Structure 1
Amino acid sequence: MSGEGDSAKNSTRVWRRIPTGIWALGFVSLMMDISSEMIHSLLPVYLVVGLGSTALTVGIIEGIAEATASITKIFSGALSDRLGRRKELAALGYGLAAFTKPVFPLAPTVGWLIGARFIDRVGKGIRGAPRDALIADISPPELRGASFGLRQSLDTVGAFTGPLLAIALMALFADNFRAVFWVAVIPAFISFGLILFAVREPEKHEGPHKVRNPLSRRELSRLGSAYWWVVAVAAVFTLARFSEAFLVLRAQASGLPLMLVPAVLVIMNIAYALSAYPVGVLSDRMDRVTLLIAGLGLLVAADLMLAFETGLTGITVGTVLWGLHMGFTQGLLATLVADATPIELRGTAFGMFSLVTGLALLAASVIAGALWSGIGPKWTFLAGAGFSLLAAVGLILIRRRKTARPSIPEA
């Protein structure tokens, strides 16, 4: 019993030591995710049922949307390094996403929805790398894993609150997709207000090396082998982690009523939110790569469950495992990027990381959609399991090269 009490006290102490700026950025992400997930939890089914699209079309739309965000991140991240400022670019990205949200209920065709998703993801791309670099700038090195884990947990609370609201509003509005999309506009603008008025940037961050062209070959070479190993493994890992839209389609194909389809993302994100912060705290005390390997094991188990189980119980278990693997991996990958890069190149590092993984997600979503439409859902998830095992091999190589815990740059 005393061991459990000491663990609880340690968790409380870590919680209290996390800077207020991390909390503020977490609530900014929370509100935007509520808005986005209210829309995204319904959008795949709306495209297929409401507008007559195919699963391949869903895969292409999701892949293009996320790849657009990732490509934009490299430029916004580099610009934040060049300017030595993060907040203004993050605020621009959140504002663009907020002002795009009304397009979703107004869109009359698939083309309009593709355009809305594209612009919305441009906003995500503009804010993503500067925000992550800002978290790394604000958080103390000894609390970096906990800080990224907390931000990830708060972000994910929004990710399951959004689908819950979508379920309730679908019942209230008698399956009226557009009415739910209109309600989703409100938290997006709350998020925009929070980033403007509740987040403060620390003093201009300049390392010992002045960065003039962050994307030059000379600057990129300074990121080092530890960073590029993390990027390479993350790219293979992303091929296994295709869009969660296919979890939604898997549940719907298994007989889940239309009104309850968003519950899939609710279940996944509850598991994600409950695990991300504790794993982040744990990663500040033990080997991070070991935790990532455990996360890949969870993804393999999730893929196998979703491939072979067709009942709702099996789909639910697979969805929980999928959420747990997200909690074990997403914050840790961001922490490893922050660990491996100098302060003056953090924006560029997060942007390049997002570019590579975004292109991998585009490929993964298109492959998943093609496998789903061509030979069936089972092979979509079996392919994901195969890529997971390949990524695990890469992580084992990283650990052998003793780059699992690269030395932390001085902040």
Structure 2
Amino acid sequence: MRADTVQPVRDGSTRGIWSVGAASLFSDASHESVTSLLPTFLASTLHSGPAVLGAVDGFADALTGLAKLAGGPLAADPRRRSRIAAGGYLGTAVATAAIGISTAAWQVAVLRAVAWSSRGLRSPARDVLLTTLSTRAGYGRAFGVERAGDNAGAIVGPLLASALVVVVGVRQTMMLSIVPGVLAAVAISVAARDARRTIVREEARRALAFNLAALRRAGFARTLIPIASFEFGNVATTLLILRATDLLHTGERDLAAATSIAILLYVLHNAVATVWSMLSGILADRVGARPVFVGGTCCYLIGYAAFAVGPHALAGLAAAFALAGAGIGAVETTESATVARSLPEELRGNGFGVLGLVQSFGDHEAVMG
């Protein structure tokens, strides 16, 4: 079956691409605000221990990878793609906000699983929408906008939660997270509508298939090897916060102060990742994704090596967080751009699904490790 005939847009800065970036920003702000309150909610309100939190997040993270893989075949079909993207964002928003009315830990687990499964299903569809909205020469910039929005949301969400929780309380703050979540669904719907305008002719509905053999014949394994190597060595950023807290907790600084500073350093990490995602996308389009990926990996390794050595000085820790943020911003952007460029249009949804599975498995291993 032939691929859809697509009329490329003139550049990568269309309204649709920025709408995808806005969707990532709003959605991440929504679920990150709830995630930042989840430990307190489970411990103080539902009287559950740390083991419950680990089980809830571990189960949800595992489902995310499987959902991304399942979302690949759905994203490959232009007729399903827009509905999956919009429905996924809306499902994440509703299930995440509903955690605020939970009365038992098992309800939190179910809602978190639904939210993260919706998040996984929508991911390949969103990425294919980006390739439809952009030209091949602008894939780096397009994915840079999306990654920048995601990282910016990771800053806005916790800050929003910290401000609201003082005014309205934990439960109400969680429920209010539906507002940016719904805005995310609206933004992705705008992007999907713009993407449909670029399709001159649509083929009949495609059969759902993982197309693993076709991916192998297209040489996708060679593309995936360096990505998988990085992701399986990736370390959860929550561990960086824990490490920084330990290093900052000295005789001159109590635990509360150390924790507060470590969180601010994590905000710095996400701010650098936001900026560097945009810059890396531009560089990837100009010089190629491979050197940007290698440079990002080097920044990441240097930053994490600094954490291993253990600088107690604030400046040293800030530099380590900044390097780690620059590294992850560059790598995540170029991973998606590389997958988009390495596959024909009809296989990109499947490729993004496999990429999501690899990324989620690496994140899960990092947390469990």
**TM-score above 0.5, yes or no:** yes
Tell me what 2:252 maps to.
Answer: none
Question: 1:333 Cα shift?
Answer: 0.3
Superposition pairs of residues 258-273 of structure 1, within 5 angstroms = 262-273=263-274
Measure, in 2, the Cα distance between the counterparts of 1:117 and 1:126.
Answer: 14
Tell me what 1:321 maps to.
Answer: 323
Residue ranges of structure 2 left out of the alignment (5+ in a row): 1-9, 250-254
Tell me what 2:277 maps to.
Answer: 276
Tell me what 2:5 maps to.
Answer: none
Tell me what 1:100 maps to.
Answer: 95
Measure, in 2, the Cα distance between the counterparts of 1:259 and 1:171.
Answer: 16
Q: What is the TM-score of this pair, normalised by structure 2?
A: 0.83
Measure, in 2, the Cα distance between the counterparts of 1:284 and 1:216.
Answer: 28
Question: 1:278 Cα shift?
Answer: 1.0
Question: 1:27 Cα shift?
Answer: 1.0
Question: 1:210 Cα shift?
Answer: 9.6
Q: For residues 346 and 333 of structure 1, do their structure 2 counterparts lie closer, same or farther at Cα, with a shift above 3 Å needed?
A: same
The amino acid of 1:276's aligned partner reads S
Question: 1:319 Cα shift?
Answer: 2.2
Instruction: Pick from 44, 47, 53 the counterpart of residue 49 of structure 2.
Output: 53
Superposition pairs of residues 30-109 of structure 1, within 5 angstroms = 30-44=25-39, 51=47, 53-54=49-50, 58=53, 60-82=55-77, 84-109=79-104
Q: For residues 277 and 103 of structure 1, do their structure 2 counterparts lie closer, same or farther at Cα, with a shift above 3 Å needed?
A: same
Q: What is the TM-score of this pair, normalised by structure 1?
A: 0.75
Contact 2:276 2:330 in 1 (8 A): yes
Tell me what 1:356 maps to.
Answer: 358
Question: 1:134 Cα shift?
Answer: 0.9
Tell me what 1:137 maps to.
Answer: 132
Question: 1:217 Cα shift?
Answer: 4.7
Q: For residues 16 and 165 of structure 1, do their structure 2 counterparts lie closer, same or farther at Cα, with a shift above 3 Å needed?
A: farther
Measure, in 1, the Cα distance between the counterparts of 2:266 and 2:36.
Answer: 7
Give the superposed CA RMSD: 3.0
The amino acid of 2:336's aligned partner reads A
Contact 1:145 1:335 in 2 (8 A): yes
Question: 1:90 Cα shift?
Answer: 0.2
2:210 match: secondary structure: coil
Tell me what 2:341 maps to.
Answer: 339
Instruction: Pick from 177, 181, 206 the counterpart of residue 184 of structure 1.
Output: 177
Measure, in 2, the Cα distance between the counterparts of 1:198 and 1:213.
Answer: 23
Question: 1:31 Cα shift?
Answer: 0.9
Contact 1:59 1:243 in 2 (8 A): no
The amino acid of 2:161's aligned partner reads A
1:221 equivalent to 2:216? Answer yes
2:287 match: secondary structure: coil
Q: For residues 325 and 129 of structure 1, do their structure 2 counterparts lie closer, same or farther at Cα, with a shift above 3 Å needed?
A: same
Q: Alpha-carbon deviations, 1:308-348, whole Å to 9, x = none?
A: 23565544333222211111110100000001001011111
Measure, in 1, the Cα distance between the counterparts of 2:221 and 2:205.
Answer: 22
The amino acid of 1:96's aligned partner reads G
Measure, in 2, the Cα distance between the counterparts of 1:177 and 1:309.
Answer: 35
Measure, in 1, the Cα distance between the counterparts of 2:106 and 2:295.
Answer: 40
Measure, in 2, the Cα distance between the counterparts of 1:352 and 1:115.
Answer: 25
Instruction: Pick from 103, 113, 120 the counterpart of residue 108 of structure 2.
Output: 113
Tell me what 2:163 maps to.
Answer: 168
Contact 2:62 2:361 in 1 (8 A): yes
Measure, in 2, the Cα distance between the counterparts of 1:220 and 1:126.
Answer: 19
Measure, in 2, the Cα distance between the counterparts of 1:182 and 1:210.
Answer: 38
Residue ranges of structure 1 left out of the alignment (5+ in a row): 1-14, 368-411
